Structure 1
């Protein structure tokens, strides 16, 4: 790997504060923009996989808190008793806690699920795209709308006093879409809103949004709505403003020099993707499957320690180094996502992608325009 003059090699972090687990490949919905390759197949995680992961998670919890995030498919499709059994494989942690979260479409949430979430506890993040037509892409395998079922699930969470966040995919960004989405999230009473612009990725080959005035205006309006009524957090704005603070305080270079965070995804069968978890289940003609090994054969900690030497991960790190060499926003985005680079360009060592432009550069332009407008 070549490095810019005077810079250190790009390196991976030693531990991960978050571990993603795929308890089930099946999803009961068939969202039109979904990238997952096996969402129509019911492949359930064995308990032995959770046992193997717990050994490393407990080890890491001696150094910092660890969040285990259950992410499918639709995790609840694995069934209540099996999901409970997977959770029970994880103890409270050593010096720091092991906490749990689930990313769900909420359509299967009933009283029994709420009781389980409350007893563990499990923090709930709900995938829903907004009011009315904004959620039209989220249909079941028969093409039926899911909105009413999802809203009933959210209402059950509220009745049980369970905190939750929202993750929303925006397919048609505009100022009105930003206003409607933020108002919807506030009305539902979530803690945090995460926003993903629809993108070309995985089995979804539809083109994502290219850079343009409508995308910038979307982010500008979202920043304005949040500033006017900051009752909930917005993930993308928090990240952007954190970067702005780092630039203003002179700490951006230190931020840029930090190790690249690990975000391991453990699939239903124990295979591990150490970074860019959206690559799980996919293969490259040159590199083969995007995995570094299986936790049933090698401890997760060992797989993470050796991940940088796996060819496809090494190419990913090359791509991050290339971004660092040419991009003025590197301290902000830290090299982007390998999955976007691969699905957009066919390689992992590319630099700028449509995702960079719409969800990073346009986002920054939007909040700066909002600041200029508010000041004037």
Structure 2
């Protein structure tokens, strides 16, 4: 595991103004905000790391924009670049974006990705706290982005991977104006205990999506980008080098300074067997020191055992780098397992569907 991070996730606020049925976050109904002291502690580490390589800071809630423009700008202003760039991005539901927010994004060069599942009924599970639909509000926010000529990406959760509607989804997001689309097949994770889809409909969905994407490629599909980079690495002999590279720790720093790793999905969770999924708090130690000794934590050790098990057992390791620890835990109760439903849906079936769709689009 790498001792520095190229991507850092921050939780500026816990509260979300939506109440999506599939959301897994444990504190999304309460308002807790990050202090300047916590932001300063993270910024110190980011500045040091950026002397060696670029660092990307992702503001990820809750709904980050709930913090309001003054509060967000105050936290953002604590960060300074070293020899390399420190970039910022926000993951938002889009409902609070207005002209004032667009001015912030422009002034501070903040990238924007909007969580949005598509037209109704695709978006029906993304509701307000009063149970109302949220699509119109999100579209108003996107209209503001477009008015200010701000590029943006989108991430959609697909609850029903119906291959007959994959083209409709692709065309809708293409018309929306986003430059890229990430597709998350609904997962079993966090407070959401329902099982995810786990059958060959997922392969057919990816295949149908690939057919539509291959026809015009107006819209980048995040998952296809990842898959094709892996294929290119296999073809030019770099796949083994990729497989042996140290894994980025992907730290997530919560509103109170707690640090978890491997992305934002484990923040706020714990296990009777392993304890809290944290490796320290930035109020008690420098973030660099916390990451350097993270492998001493029992749950991180189990995560690394699981990654090593994937490395030795799976031909797809250079593609997925050992999978997502959160999905392993929430599906099985352990981190040291290998294949999961997430793995099958978002890697194996995706690759199979992509290759099938490309062949079909070529008329093979």
- The question of a shared fold, defined as TM-score above 0.5 by the shorter chain, is answered with yes
Measure the CA separation in 2 of the matches of 1:346 and 1:366: 29
TM-score (structure 1 length as normaliser): 0.95
Contact 2:127–2:133, Cα closer than 8 Å, also in 1: yes
Q: Choose which of 125, 129, 134 in structure 2 pairs with 1:146.
A: 134
For residue 55 of structure 1, the aligned residue among 44, 58, 65 is 44
State the match for 2:210 in structure 1.
223
The answer as to 2:349 corresponding to 1:362 is yes
1:189 deviation in Å? Answer: 1.0
Q: For 1:113, which of 101, 107, 112 is the aligned residue?
A: 101
- Pairs aligned (count): 363
**2:319 pairs with one of 307, 326, 332:** 332
**Partners of 2:9 and 2:263 within 8 A in 1:** no
Give me the whole-angstrom Cα distance separating, in 1, the residues matched to 2:164 and 2:52: 44
Name 2:68's counterpart in structure 1.
Answer: 79
Equivalent residue, structure 1, for 2:147? 159
Provide TM-score, normalisation by structure 2: 0.98
Query: 1:114: Cα distance to partner?
Result: 1.1
User: What CA RMSD, in Å, does the superposition of the two structures yield over aligned residues?
Assistant: 1.0
249-258 or 133-142: bigger deviation: 249-258
Separation in 2 of the partners of 1:191 and 1:264? 26
CA drift of 1:375 comes to 5.1
Asked whether 1:349 is paired with 2:336, we answer yes
Unaligned residue ranges in structure 2 (runs of 5+) = none
CA distance in 1, matches of 2:352, 2:321: 18
Superposition pairs for residues 140-289 of structure 1, below 5 Å?
Answer: 140-212=128-200, 214-289=201-276
CA-CA distance at 1:353 after TM superposition: 0.4
Q: Does 1:99 align with 2:99?
A: no
The CA deviation string for residues 5-25 of structure 1, in whole angstroms up to 9 with x for no partner, is xxxxxxx01221111000000
Contact 2:214 2:358 in 1 (8 A): no
Contact 1:276 1:338 in 2 (8 A): no
Deviation at 1:372, TM superposition (A): 3.2
Task: Between 151-160 and 221-230, report the one with greater CA deviation.
Answer: 221-230
Measured after TM superposition, the shift of residue 131 of structure 1 is: 1.2
- Aligned partners of 1:368 and 1:221: how far apart in 2? 11
Residue 30 of structure 1 corresponds to 19
1:328 is displaced (CA, Å) by 1.3
SS across alignment from 1:94: coil
Indicate the residue corresponding to 1:45 in structure 2: 34
Any idea what SS the aligned residue of 2:111 has?
Answer: strand
- Please say if residues 26 and 39 of structure 1, whose CA atoms lie closer than 8 Å, have aligned partners that are also in contact: yes
